[in-house]
Amino acid sequence: MTSTAVTPRPHGVQHRRLTVLLVLLGAVVIGVVLSITIGAKSVPPADAWHALTAPTGTENDIVIRSLRVPRTVLGVLAGLALGVAGALMQGHTRNPLADPGLLGVTQGAAFAMVASIILLGASSLLAYIWFGLAGALIASVGVFALGMVGGRGGPTPVTLALAGTAVSAFLYALTSAIVLLDEQAMDVFRFWQAGSIAARGSEVVWQVLPFILAGLVLAMVNAPGLNALALGEDVARGLGQNIALTRTVGVAAVTLLTGASVAACGSLAFVGLIVPHLVRPLSGTDHRWLLPYSGLVGAALLLLADVIGRVVAPPGELEVGVVLALLGAPFFVVLVRRRKPVRL
CA distance 7 to 75: 36
Within residues 79-108, the interface with another protein by CB under 8 A covers 95-98
Q: What is the C-alpha R_g of the chain?
A: 20
Shortest distance in whole angstroms from residue 8 CB to another protein: 31
Residue 233 within binding range of another protein, rule CB under 8 A: no
Shortest distance in whole angstroms from residue 114 CB to another protein: 13
CA distance 300 to 281: 17
Q: Which stretch binds another protein (CB under 8 A): 24-32, 153-161, 220-228, 254-262?
A: 153-161
Measured from the CB atom, is 159 or 202 closer to another protein?
159
List Cα–Cα distances, 137 to 39, 55, 97, 253, in angstroms. Answer: 35, 39, 21, 11
CA distance 276 to 267: 17
Residue 15's CB: how many other CB atoms inside 10 A? Answer: 11
Residue 270 within binding range of another protein, rule CB under 8 A: yes
Within residues 179-218, the interface with another protein by CB under 8 A covers 179-181, 183, 186-187, 190-191, 193-195
Shortest distance in whole angstroms from residue 132 CB to another protein: 17
Q: Which stretch binds another protein (CB under 8 A): 42-50, 69-77, 266-274, 292-300?
A: 266-274
Backbone angles phi, psi at 324, to 5 degrees: -60, -45
Please give the size of the binding site for another protein, defined by CB under 8 A. Answer: 55
Output the furthest CA–CA distance in the chain (Å, rounded).
Answer: 63
CA distance 155 to 225: 16
List Cα–Cα distances, 33 to 23, 79, 84, 269, 294, in angstroms. Answer: 15, 16, 22, 24, 20
Residues that bind another protein (CB under 8 A): 95-98, 146, 149-151, 158-159, 161-163, 165-167, 169-170, 172-174, 176-177, 179-181, 183, 186-187, 190-191, 193-195, 267, 270, 273-274, 277, 318-319, 321-322, 324-326, 328-330, 332-333, 336-337, 341, 343
